[in-house]
Chain A
Amino acid sequence: MENGKLRIIVCIKQVPNTNEVKLDPVTGVLLRDGVPSIINPDDLCGIEAALELKDRYGCHVTVISMGPMQADVALREALAMGCDEAYLVSDKLFGGADTWATSRTLAGAAKMLGYDLIITGRQAIDGDTAQVGPQIAEHLGIPQVSYAQDIEKLPEEAALIVQRYYEDRYQKIKIKLPALVTALSTLNTPRYMSVGGVVAAYDDIPVKILKYEDIKDFVDEKDIGLKGSPTRVKKSFTKTAKGQGTLHDAVSEDEAVEIIVSKLKEHYVL
């Protein structure tokens, strides 16, 4: 707590806007050139969740991102939405990090900054691993709730009630702070930046850079960057676009079953 205010760290990632990615009509390869970068959608909901807690309880919200220098735009967008502070974790030494080294690095930064609650998005739309959030909690040795669809703070104690989403139900989990929560896009509708917020994000609030030197007391050099990444990529390929399926409309239920079963047999599934 800082002046009685809950300290929240939101971890965000800058990703290519996949809605804007087009396929090369001939080769079927993704055309990523000139695709604008955005804040990962789940992370944007993480920011909104933190700002809603701030609106209700007066928290201090710090947003951090690990990435190249140009990822500062994502942090400024977060500031323009109403976050109080922003840190860009950026250093050549962090380059080539997999989710393990990334989570080690972010956990180190969080430890250095201090926190009561860490919010991350569930997963990024470019990597889709959903690993970094939970790994940060493991490295820090704090409890976590992933797939949060609602977050509420208990009035008299340092604890939250978090709704954990499953496809067919949800759990209401009480979790003691400090803790980590990963946010789903269904958690909320992120607010827009405000015009004054954009002005503040460029004129008043600096995006502070954290280099390895700044967090070296909290993370070992062997755990960062390419060296700290156990993942070895065996093969990377672009999925070819699936052809259009065959549409069988105007068939009865029995006929539909027959068509499906014969198809499955044809492919030796049955």
Chain B
Amino acid sequence: MMDFNLSKKHVLMQELFQKFAIHEVEPIAAEIDEKEEFPYETAKKLGRYGFMGVPFPKEYGGSGADNLAYAMCVEELSKVCATTGVVVSAHASLCTAPIYEAGTQQQKEKYLPKLASGQWIGAFGLTEAGAGTDAAMQQTTAVLDGDNYVLNGTKIFITNAGAAHVYIIIAMTDKSKGTRGCSAFIVEKDFPGFSIGKEEKKMGIRGSATRELIMEDCIVPKENLLGKEGQGFKIAMQTLDGGRIGIAAQALGIAQGAIDITVNYVKERKQFGKRISQFQNTQFDLADMQTKVDAARLLTYRAACLKDAGQKYSGEAAMAKLFASEVASDVTRRCLQLHGGYGYIREYAIERMMRDAKITEIYEGTSEVQKMVVAAGMGVR
């Protein structure tokens, strides 16, 4: 039997995520977008209430909940502010999770309590100028020199860069082996030779930090190698599998948030002597959108539950992200249309939501990459 009801525990967590989002996140969402400011104060509060370490065990400073709760957390935050959603998602899925899943006991004890409690923010560096979707084309190198690895190279488009204290960096330890020559490293912001490069000016999620990471003879202690040499690509791909649950949840949140404000709007806005909610076009459009968003939610929650059950979830996470992100773009565009001219004005949140939605089809694997993952899972090659 399948049970589509949330447990009472999840219902209460959802209530917490909603309350926090409405009182702490929504009031500054427009401002951090306008000023392109990273929400440092919010990040501190997110840490205080356990939002930064939702799925990690309490013994490591986490909240002891699960990936379903984590997805619900990102969803509720993203309903009102996609920037805040991705701050949590990148931190938890792309930095804290690989240390939790692939780290040594020593690495876990050193990094997880600070990351899972939100005292430190985390980030992940895989993408390079010449290695986007073709992630195997890594140019960053890591050479073992005594007790340290020496890293050289530049990562681009790194979410949380500058705000983060810890970075998971993928670099080549043996270029001749291709993807099997990649290794993963835990790099702290204060390691010698590590610096933060230029800040990107983005279309959406403008409050989130997106910057370069520059490593010039960056010294990383040997014990900060994550997993074994040559496992970097595998770790990166597994990390992105988990990350896709977070981004699917972010997309889902953006879409539901857009519908919620639009429902309020159409019930107030009058044209031709009627509330525009009374027009069947409006009703059909919103019904269609809500149906898609519900489907996206089911896909996203399924991927999270599979991960929680310790089952394979790679294909399901890719489907969730593929579908939810395309729904987010579609729904925000249509919701803006229902707002008419006002929707195009920055004073209305739908304008920001439409700009924010697009990135969910691109980062942590484009929609095309998700289709590659799904097709591979189907044995279509």
Contact = CB atoms under 8 A, between A and B. Distances in A.
Interface of A: 73, 76-77, 80, 192-203
Nearest to B46: A195
A76 B16 CA distance: 12
B255 interface: no
A36 to B, nearest CB: 9
Interface in B22-51: 48-51
B50 A196 contact: yes
Given A192-B19, A192-B20, A197 B9 contact: no
Contacts of A198: 9, 12-13, 16, 65
B69 interface: yes
A77 B12 contact: yes
B63 A199 contact: yes
A101 to B, nearest CB: 30
B49 A199 contact: no
A231 to B, nearest CB: 34
B58 interface: yes
Contact of B49 (A76, A195, A202): A195
Counting chain B residues whose Cβ lies within 8 A of the other chain, the interface size class is 20 to 34
Interface in B60-86: 62-65, 69, 73
B8 A195 contact: no
Given A73-B8, A194-B50, A199 B65 contact: yes
Contacts of B12: 73, 76-77, 80, 193, 198, 201-202
A195 B12 CA distance: 9
Contact of A196 (B8, B19, B64, B73): B64
30 contacts: A73-B8, A73-B12, A76-B8, A77-B12, A80-B12, A80-B16, A192-B16, A192-B19, A192-B49, A193-B12, A193-B16, A193-B49, A194-B16, A194-B48, A194-B49, A195-B13, A195-B16, A195-B50, A195-B63, A195-B65, A195-B69, A196-B63, A197-B50, A198-B13, A198-B16, A198-B65, A199-B58, A201-B12, A202-B9, A203-B9
A80 to B, nearest CB: 7
A195 B13 CA distance: 6
Contact of A194 (B7, B8, B63, B69): B63
A195 B54 contact: yes
Q: Which 9 A-B pairs have the closest CB atoms?
A: A195-B50, A195-B63, A202-B9, A196-B63, A194-B50, A199-B64, A196-B50, A193-B16, A194-B49
Contacts of B20: 192
Nearest to B16: A193
Contacts of A199: 9, 58, 63-65
Contacts, number: 55
B223 to A, nearest CB: 29
A82 to B, nearest CB: 11
Nearest to B8: A202
Contacts of A203: 9, 64
Interface in B297-329: none
A131 B73 CA distance: 40
Contacts of B62: 196
B189 to A, nearest CB: 26
Nearest to B66: A199
Contacts of B58: 196, 199
Contacts of B49: 192-195
Nearest to A197: B50
B73 A195 contact: yes
A194 B65 CA distance: 11
A152 B62 CA distance: 32
Nearest to B14: A198
Query: Could you say which of A77, A80, A196, A201 has the most chain B C-beta atoms within 10 Å of its C-beta?
Result: A196
A253 to B, nearest CB: 37
B45 to A, nearest CB: 9
A195 B48 CA distance: 10
Given A193-B16, A195-B65, 14 more contacts: A73-B8, A76-B8, A192-B19, A192-B49, A194-B48, A195-B49, A195-B51, A195-B63, A195-B69, A195-B73, A199-B64, A201-B9, A202-B8, A203-B9
A201 B65 CA distance: 12
B55 to A, nearest CB: 10
B324 to A, nearest CB: 22
Nearest to B13: A198
B211 to A, nearest CB: 29
Contacts of A77: 12
A77 B11 CA distance: 11
A25 to B, nearest CB: 14
A192 B73 CA distance: 14
Contacts of B50: 194-197
Contacts of B51: 195
Contacts of A73: 8, 12
B330 to A, nearest CB: 31
